[in-house]
């Protein structure tokens, strides 16, 4: 068995998308080495969720998890609404107001770190859960960026030890990500309500999800359009 190709390093935020991607790899029998990044996000709660997800899924495949402390990067990332006191805007991702939630080149930084980690472990694949819903606002979630970054990684790493970047959800909407996530749960014999109840999406990181930020709105829409009810707690429900 080619262990380089049967293992992947995955960026696991603790949200619905990266959890679905983790489920996909596990359902394919791939060994998954996950990294969660603590970069000063106000919704740091998502990292606890990532830990809970990993705990829940650990028995069903080869799965590791490391939390990487990037608190030293506060100066680098500057004042995004996700990393400072700038208020988190309410409304849809496509709204102009959502631009303050951009953490500059965040996925460029994260993918570089996944690459370094994959090379250290001699693993042939790295992945993140960018999907269609992110495209409007986040340039580092678009196909053109994925292709360019894959090439940069290819050229910047040793050829005998270079990981290939993949983003299998790039052509899927948030609804589709949830749909396939539910399917992977079924394949693995897991209760999807239980699994997704352990994920965190809201940008605000309060006790309950706000239900009003771009991330919450998109998540709620996905559940609604599939005819399901989200199992996490919202502020006004």
* Interacting residues with a copy of itself (CB under 8 A): 35, 38, 66, 68-73, 75-79, 102-109, 111-113, 115-117, 119-121, 139-140, 142, 144-145, 148-149, 151-159, 161
Task: Give whichever of 7 and 107 is closer to a copy of itself, judged by the CB atom.
Answer: 107
Q: CB of 116: closest distance to a copy of itself in angstroms?
A: 4
**Residue 91 CB, nearest approach to a copy of itself (Å):** 19
In order of 20, 192, 203, 219, the CA distances from 230 in angstroms are 15, 11, 17, 8
Q: Nearer to a copy of itself by C-beta: 75 or 236?
A: 75
| Closer residue to a copy of itself, CB minimum distance, 11 or 198 | 11
> Residues in the chain, how many?
237
CB of 15 to a copy of itself, least distance (A): 20
For a copy of itself, which is the closer residue by CB, 31 or 70?
70
Q: Give the shortest CB-148-to-a copy of itself separation in angstroms.
A: 4
Q: DSSP secondary structure string, 67-92?
A: EEE-GGGHHHH-S-TTTSSSPPPBS-
């Amino acid at each position: 068995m080619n262990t380089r190709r049967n293992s992947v390093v995955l960026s696991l935020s603790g949200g619905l998308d990266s959890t679905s991607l983790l489920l996909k790899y596990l359902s394919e029998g791939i060994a998954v080495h996950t990294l969660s990044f603590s970069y000063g996000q106000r919704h740091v709660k998502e990292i606890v969720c990532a830990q809970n997800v990993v705990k829940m899924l650990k028995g069903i495949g080869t799965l590791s998890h490391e939390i990487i402390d990037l608190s030293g990067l506060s100066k680098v990332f500057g004042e995004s609404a996700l990393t400072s006191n700038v208020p988190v805007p309410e409304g849809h991702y496509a709204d102009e107001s959502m631009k303050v939630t951009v953490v500059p080149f965040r996925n460029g930084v994260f993918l570089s770190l996944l690459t370094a980690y994959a090379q250290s472990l001699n693993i042939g694949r790295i992945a993140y859960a960018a999907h269609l819903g992110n495209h409007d606002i986040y340039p580092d979630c678009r196909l053109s960026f994925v292709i360019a970054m894959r090439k940069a990684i290819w050229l910047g790493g040793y050829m005998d030890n270079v990981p290939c970047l993949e983003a299998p959800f790039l052509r899927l909407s948030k609804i589709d990500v949830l749909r396939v996530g539910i399917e992977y749960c079924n394949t693995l014999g897991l209760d999807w309500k239980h699994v997704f109840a352990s994920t965190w999406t809201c940008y605000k990181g309060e006790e309950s999800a706000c239900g009003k930020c771009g991330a919450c709105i998109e998540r709620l829409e996905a559940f609604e359009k599939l005819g399901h009810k989200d199992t996490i707690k919202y502020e006004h429900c």
